[in-house]
């Protein structure tokens, strides 16, 4: 093994070589769109009226203790029913009557009930994980009775992931660029280096 490694290191730059890596492999994935017509976010009791500024969404996750995976068809062992609660946290910013911006944390929950395919696993030591990706946005916002009412749309991707070893073609190790040292901006120095400019008004043309 050491001899093979030394031979690989002697390859010419950017010549593809096979290497073994440990990585997460996606065995199955599917996507859905979800929409909540009215997600209610309670605003502070005082300081209104408020105006909506923006909303920042975080990555959705499976609420602990809600994931259940059940085989569906004995003739097809890869087909499974999966249920869980998907939670998407977010932070909204509103502006009060004095012009100050206030942040309010909240979240929305989706109940998921889907069919996924999980490969047969003959080894107890190997396990699959359910991994989620979400892309969310506020489609519409309204302030009503001191509450922010949001219509939220979310793209949800469900993935069946297992950690495996794979042979991949590699171009070698990455070579990082040299870090550029940060130099604070000296406004005075920049001003002193400016070329001389006209300081008098333009003369009028003689009549």
- The answer to whether 127 touches 16, Cβ cutoff 8 Å, is no
What is the rounded distance in angstroms from the CA atom of residue 40 to the CA atom of residue 200? 61
Q: Is residue 9 part of a domain?
A: no
Tell me the H-state helices in 18-149. Answer: none
Question: What's the predicted TM-score (pTM) here?
Answer: 0.75
Does 130 map to a domain? yes
Residue 114 maps to a domain? yes
Let me know if residue 203 belongs to a domain.
no
- Determine the Cα–Cα distance for residues 79 and 118; give it in Å rounded to an integer: 7
Which of 92, 91, 95, 96 is CA-nearest to residue 46?
A: 96
Residue 196 is assigned to a structural domain of this protein? no
16 occurs within a structural domain: no
Residue 180 inside a domain? The answer is: no
pLDDT in tens, the chain (207 residues): 344 444 444 445 578 889 999 999 999 999 999 999 999 999 988 877 889 999 999 999 999 999 999 998 888 889 999 999 999 999 999 998 888 899 999 999 999 999 999 998 878 888 999 999 999 999 999 998 889 999 999 999 999 999 999 999 988 888 888 888 888 888 888 888 888 777 777 777 765
Q: What's the structural domain count of the chain?
A: 1
Examine residue 186 and state whether it is found in any structural domain, yes or no: no
Domain interval for residue 30? 23-173
């Amino acid at each position: 093994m050491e001899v093979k490694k030394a031979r690989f290191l002697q390859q010419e730059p950017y010549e593809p070589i096979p290497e073994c890596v440990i990585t997460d492999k996606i065995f199955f994935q599917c996507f859905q769109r979800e929409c909540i017509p009215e997600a209610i976010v309670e605003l502070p009791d005082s300081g209104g009226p408020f105006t909506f500024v923006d909303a920042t969404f975080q990555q959705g996750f499976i609420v602990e203790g809600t994931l259940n995976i059940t085989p569906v068809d004995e003739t097809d062992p890869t087909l499974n029913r999966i249920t869980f609660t998907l939670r998407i946290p977010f932070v909204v910013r509103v502006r009060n009557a004095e012009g100050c911006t206030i942040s309010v944390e909240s979240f929305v929950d989706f109940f998921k009930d889907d069919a996924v395919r999980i490969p047969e696993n003959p080894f107890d030591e190997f396990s699959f994980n359910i991994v989620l990706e979400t892309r969310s946005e506020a489609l519409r916002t309204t302030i009503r009775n001191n509450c922010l009412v949001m219509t939220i749309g979310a793209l949800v991707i469900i993935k069946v992931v297992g950690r495996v070893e794979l042979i991949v073609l590699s171009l070698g190790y990455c070579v990082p660029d040299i870090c550029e040292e940060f130099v604070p901006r000296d406004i005075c120095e920049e001003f002193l280096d400016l070329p001389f400019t006209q300081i008098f008004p333009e003369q009028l043309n003689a009549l």
